[in-house]
Amino acid sequence: MIAAFGGIAPTMAATPARLLPLVWGNDRAVALIVAHRQAALAALRERAVRRPIVATRYDLLRYLHQCMAFDGEEALRVFFVNARRELIAEEVVARGGPAAIAVEPRVVIVRALALAAAGIVLVHNHPGGDPTPSAADRRFTRRLTLAAECLGIEVHDHLIVARDGHHRIDVAMVD
């Protein structure tokens, strides 16, 4: 099974539908794999968010990589934080296809205001494996940062995670 997916991490990230044929239709085996992944992600998340959210911290990056790097569709995850960068909420606010997400900055801003968040950390994945930001990634970050700034919400970071690593879009330098 590990050979079929190319490693342990992609095997653990596989959907039940993709796992089922490899375990000869054994629903219990699939349930066990899914439960193991959920438990592992819960442990990684617990460690990652127990202190202030800093996007470059190793435990947060490890959690995000395991959580998002092997997904087959792009997703935008947002950490909503208070003034001390303590977690208020972590939510996937949009999902897309294998190459793009259609989301407007207002979706993130409205949710941040509803949660009374002082700041946000954005994270999305690139299913293709290359974490290099696209022009659309930079435009979205710029638009969101400008809108958030007008409302007193700080965009602390925007990370892209992928199979081949991660990239941090410098929100202060986005063009």
Q: What does the pLDDT read at residue 155?
A: 95
- 8 with 73, same domain? no
Q: Rounded mean pLDDT of the chain? A: 87
- 34 with 63, same domain? no
Span 1-43, pLDDT tens digits:
778 777 777 777 777 788 788 778 878 887 888 787 787 777 7
- 16 with 67, same domain? no
Answer yes or no: is 94 within a domain. Answer: yes
Q: pTM of the entire structure?
A: 0.81
Query: What is the domain range of residue 90?
Result: 52-169
Predicted confidence band of residue 89 (pLDDT cuts 50, 70, 90): very high
Other beta carbons within 10 angstroms of residue 97's beta carbon come to 11
Tell me whether strands 165-169 and 154-162 are parallel, antiparallel or unpaired: antiparallel
